[in-house]
Amino acid sequence: MTDSTAKSSAQAWADLLQKAIAAMEFSYSPYSHYRVGAALLTKSGAVITGCNIENSAYTAAICAERTAISNAVSQGERDFVAIAVATVNGGAPCGVCRQVMREFAPDLTVIIGDVSGHYQVLTLADLLPHSFGPENLPRE
């Protein structure tokens, strides 16, 4: 990777994180008060956002990452490049979200950041080593 490529990637990740931070505004989190926003970059160049949506029956809640992926899939997008996840303190995606990301993009770049704009860039493999995917299911 050249210096200019690294700088352009860093700027792209910072821009994606800003969209995730903006998506936090729409969070419905009356129980945890922990707002999460996500911005998903597709291979077609679209950026699709999501936020966490809680429910008084806690298991019915959906995380920002899964909201963004669900929105993307419902719009016909299936190929993802990167996702930025923003929280007040840079919290990482939960296990369920990691598995949903893996379903669609085993090579996904994951940007985890906070509201001040600080972030780290990881791969999904960093977050979900030895993952289970469609290729692990028997084919008849």
The catalytic residues are: 65
- 117: which 2 tokens? 């704009």
Q: 32 pairs with which residues across the strands? A: none
Q: How far does Cα 2 stand from its chain's mean position?
A: 26
What DSSP line would sit under 73-122, residue for residue? HHTT---EEEEEEEESS-PPPPHHHHHHHHHH-TT-EEEEEETTS-EEEE
